[in-house]
Structure 1
Amino acid sequence: MTDHSIKTIPSDQPLPADDLTRTLTVALPDDPSVPHISQAGNVYTILISGEQTEGRYCLIDMLVPDGGGPPPHRHDFEEMFTLLEGELEFTFRGETQTIRAPASVNIPANAPHRFANRSGQMAHMLCMCTPAGQEEFFLSVADRIPDRYSPAPKPDAMKQAEKKELMKTLAPKYRTEFLPPN
């Protein structure tokens, strides 16, 4: 028989003391002090970083234009998307379904997946990764932009090839594997 119980802190252990070195975080997607990046035409705003959560999670605001979305991939952390506006095709373990806002989608660690915007309209969602680290990958490979409304840079073929190679090189460091297209 398989144990399907939820893994939690044992109830007989006391809660740790409040860590007074940690502060309240209020994240505004239009704040010029938070990082705004463009990754393959998508615009991501790092709302809450792993540095702010002691590595527990990160929260990324994502604007995904028509035609946007990552290639098939998997990683060894949980990823949850909350689709706020629009619709996206989510492919999970080879099965594709269209998800319309408002909706939340949880991708278990290590599961092959991707999302794609084929709606003709911008999609807007939040992405939470736990533990954190995905935001560091994006910051390492994406282009910084002044704000979330800035146009995505249009790299030439050579720059696109360089970015793709950088992503492939850095992916293992950030616990990610890119997969062949379905």
Structure 2
Amino acid sequence: MRVPPGGGPPPHRHDFEEMFTVLDGAVEFTFRGEKTVARAGETVNIPANAPHFFRNAFDQPARLLCMCTPAGQDEYFLRVGDRVDGPTAPPPSLSADEQEERKQRAARLAAQYRTELMTP
């Protein structure tokens, strides 16, 4: 995952385990209500059904390795996100309407990928 400054998912949980290893930069994780910063070389494990989210609260892009057990969450990311031209391409510049459409798409598809978004 490439996470631009300010980027990250809303609070959510799912019935599978997830592990993040920070490859570059730093990311602020909130897990069961506790906030921690993970920096390059550090790993955060999220057990199944644990409420969590992360945010790049820093001014540099971050790069994460995300592993889900069992696999399959990558398809959700592909259906919700936007493809970019390559690994160093900037994130797309989306209008407010386009951002809202992505949020609605994520909410609509979440249950299909065993995920519960915990936002109003």
Query: What is the correspondence of 1:39-50 to structure 2 with a 5 Å cutoff?
Result: none
Give unmatched runs, 5+ long, in structure 2: none
**Structure with more contact order per residue of length (Cα contacts < 8 Å, sep ≥ 6):** 2
CA root-mean-square deviation: 1.4
Residue 79 of structure 1 corresponds to 18
Quick one: distance in 1 between partners of 2:58 and 2:96?
A: 26
Give unmatched runs, 5+ long, in structure 1: 1-61
Quick one: distance in 1 between partners of 2:95 and 2:117?
A: 22
TM, length-normalised to structure 2: 0.92
1:98 and 2:37 matched: yes
Moved more, 66-75 or 149-158: 149-158
Deviations 1:3-23 (A, max 9, x none): xxxxxxxxxxxxxxxxxxxxx
Quick one: distance in 2 between partners of 1:80 and 1:161?
A: 28
- Return structure 1 stretches of 4+ with deviation > 4 angstroms: none
Count of residues paired in the alignment: 120
Bigger share in helix:
2
Query: What is the correspondence of 1:105-116 to structure 2 with a 5 Å cutoff?
Result: 105-116=44-55
Residue 101 of structure 2 corresponds to 162
Deviations 1:83-131 (A, max 9, x none): 1222111100111011222111110011000111112222122000111
Quick one: distance in 2 between partners of 1:155 and 1:121?
A: 19
1:178 and 2:117 matched: yes
Deviations 1:54-79 (A, max 9, x none): xxxxxxxx121221111111111110
